[in-house]
Amino acid sequence: MLNVSHLTVNYGAIEAVRDLSFEVAAGQVVAIIGANGAGKSTTLNTIGGILKPRSGKIRFDGHDISAMRADQIARLGLAQVPEGREVLAPLTVEENLRLGAYVRADREAIESDLQAMFMRFPILEKRRHQPAGLMSGGEQQMLAVARALMARPKLLTLDEPSMGLAPLIVNQIFEIISEIRAEGVTLLLVEQNARKALQVADYAYVLERGALAYGGPAAELRQDERIVAAYLGN
């Protein structure tokens, strides 16, 4: 589904990601964990077309997307839940959701998906006609996830979905991620909350200072003493 090979990304003069290679197979949930500044968000933003790679290749669903614009990549079926949620604050909740389906043309299916989102996230239906910016952080995160799902993506990327949220809300977000996973959507998840990420993931990679440090089945990483010591703590 997604194949990243020898990816290097510069952020100004700094090499934020260095010679990174990894894969996400269809139907998998893959987590990228690592400390703050390890290059996790840079990686996702480069895959999404917001940042341009300095070198390396990114292939998605059979296409070379390394040089594509973000909107072209979205059109191929990649939906993003960006860091900080990025809801369109002045637009209503419903407008945000509808724009999630911007790349689609199947009107009736969009309407039924909208109703399905309202069933799944009742708070969004309650706030349907309110500006999205007036909602709480947790609600905005729900909206960001729902908006991305409205695209019916082949691959969904989530950038720090738990950031800045209360523990109760974090649990809720990860429950939703498990649900999405159960529906067979391929997921690429970037998280500082390694414990939570390793619980939902099939496979995980650890980034350290822009380079790949470990990679393996999440179940193994959960047992790995080095990982436990460095990222899971107590």
Partner 1 sequence: MFWQQVVNAIWLGAVYSLFSLGYTLVFGVLGILNLAHPSLYMWGAFIGLMCVNAGLPLWLALPLAMIFSGLMGVLLDRIAFKTLRDRNAPHLATLISSIGASIFLISAAQGVFSAQVSRFPFGVFPVKVFTLGPVTITLLQISILAISLAIMLFLRWLLMGTKLGQATRAVAFNPVTAARLGIPVDRVIMQTFFLAGALAGAAGVLLGLAFNAISPFMGGPMNLKGLTVIVLGGLGNIEGAVLGGFILSFSEVMSVAYLSSDLRDAVSFVLLLIILLFRPNGLLGRSSAKRA
Footprint of partner 1 on this chain (CB under 8 A)? 48-50, 69-71, 74-75, 80, 82, 86, 88-91, 95, 98-100, 102-103, 131, 133-134, 147, 151
Q: Nearest approach, Cβ of 86 to partner 1 (angstroms)?
A: 4
CA angle 191, 229, 159 (to 5 degrees): 5
Q: Which amino acid is at 86?
A: E
Q: Nearest approach, Cβ of 100 to partner 1 (angstroms)?
A: 6
| Residue in 139, 104, 110, 109 with CA at minimum distance from that of residue 124 | 139
Task: CB nearer to partner 1: give 95 or 202.
Answer: 95
Task: CB nearer to partner 1: give 97 or 204.
Answer: 97
Task: CB nearer to partner 1: give 65 or 204.
Answer: 65
Across 76-106, b (16+ Cβ under 10 Å) vs e yields bbbbbbbbebebeeeebbbebbbebbebeee
Q: Nearest approach, Cβ of 93 to partner 1 (angstroms)?
A: 13
Task: CB nearer to partner 1: give 48 or 56.
Answer: 48
**In whole angstroms, what is the distance from residue 84 CA to residue 162 CA?**
10
Q: Nearest approach, Cβ of 82 to partner 1 (angstroms)?
A: 6
Residue with tokens 């990649």: 78
Q: Nearest approach, Cβ of 215 to partner 1 (angstroms)?
A: 26
* Sheet hosting strand 203-208, strand order edge to edge: 78-81, 155-159, 186-191, 29-34, 203-208, 211-217
Please check whether residue 174 is in contact with residue 2, taking contact to mean a CB–CB distance below 8 angstroms: no
Task: CB nearer to partner 1: give 134 or 166.
Answer: 134
Please check whether residue 35 is in contact with residue 211, taking contact to mean a CB–CB distance below 8 angstroms: no
Task: CB nearer to partner 1: give 16 or 204.
Answer: 16
Q: Nearest approach, Cβ of 212 to partner 1 (angstroms)?
A: 25
Please check whether residue 195 is in contact with residue 234, taking contact to mean a CB–CB distance below 8 angstroms: no
